[in-house]
Structure 1
């Protein structure tokens, strides 16, 4: 369920973008009415309107996630705060300059922040971030935990580069599709492959 919760803002971004893309005149007039005071020139055209409206939705959705967790007394992951900061800063730049280039960088920066945190923790602070998250559910040799941690570092690094490649070599609609289906699909495949690897190394309790 957590992965669905994490991907909710992306799904809402996708939904708004697709709807606005199919109704560009409505999107342009709505974006101009709602966001005109925030954009350079005060007018949003039909080409950039879909991504601007979708950007507003993802900012609101990410903020709503944090408020919902706070209302329930749940711990808010540091990465969710980072995500809110990134989407607010880059999203605001996208809205003001009415250019999707800024928001397209957000997934990459977030991937690299997560990967960099795991790498820094392992190499500098000698703390395995993945082990800290998963050790309560399974027992593994330290060497395996290191492999798992570095595999996540590599995954986040590759996903960051892949996002940029799709974002700046294909139409925005293709990037939006990849952002939801490609990101979620590759994450699920990676987790499945890793689960198979972990299953071979999990220590079992042999106590009578």
Structure 2
């Protein structure tokens, strides 16, 4: 539960910062919250996951560019870039190495055959590429407040729904304990 709360701190800080003073305050609050949550994670776990590290570095770069340049494009493009990085990782690992989803979930769940991992990997790839396109569409088409609301209240529920829709697939192709090698 604590880990989940730590993950949400930067998003909560972004929303509060936006309501308090606009996009630049939101960016600054998120930057500070990200550094703080990463420090807490390091203290508690003695390590930071690769996904967390990639996300944090991208946030630090995009937030710094936004704050120093006064151009909000950088912070608004951050989700697009992040989704594209993740989508690309799933795409590349569909053809080379182990599917990224198997590396992420392999210890938590086992699927019957490698083809099921590959199909799940492709689903995640398309999800991330779609989210990149949606983020671009929202921030370039609608007012800034709409993008902020999408970022805070839209992207997370969409991600949770996507994950929930994967449960039937995972249940259907889950390996029985006796077939796990």
State the TM-score, normalizing by the size of structure 2.
0.89
Q: Please, what is the CA RMSD of the aligned residues?
A: 1.8
Q: How many residues align?
A: 177
The answer to whether the aligner puts 1:139 opposite 2:140 as a matched pair is no
Q: Does the 8 Å contact 2:6/2:41 carry over to 1?
A: no
Offset at residue 182 of structure 1 (A): 0.7
Asked if the contact 2:90/2:99 (under 8 Å) is kept, the reply is yes
> After TM superposition, which residue ranges in structure 1, 4 or more long, deviate above 6 angstroms?
none
Q: What's the TM-score, normalizing by structure 1?
A: 0.79
| C-alpha distance in structure 2 between counterparts of 1:4 and 1:161, whole Å | 28
Match of 1:58 in 2: 30
Which entry has the higher C-alpha Rg, 1 or 2? 1
Structure 1 CA distance, aligned partners of 2:110 and 2:4?
A: 23
Cα 1:4/1:197, change in 2 over 3 Å: farther
| Partner deviation per Cα, 1:119-141 (whole Å, 9 max, x = no partner) | 222323x2111112212222212
Structure 1 stretches of 5 or more lacking a match? 21-49
CA distance in 1, matches of 2:178, 2:59: 48
> Residue 72 of structure 1: SS of its match in structure 2?
helix
User: How far apart are 1:74 and its partner, in Å?
Assistant: 3.6
1:97 and 1:135 mapped to 2: Cα distance? 42
Q: How do 1:60-75 residues align onto structure 2 when only pairs under 5 Å count?
A: 60-75=32-47
- In 2, Cα distance between the equivalents of 1:206 and 1:71? 38
- Structure 2 residue ranges without an equivalent (≥5): none
User: 162-171 vs 65-74, which deviates more?
Assistant: 65-74
Q: 1:7 corresponds to which residue?
A: 8
Aligned residue for 2:60? 88
Match of 2:144 in 1: 172
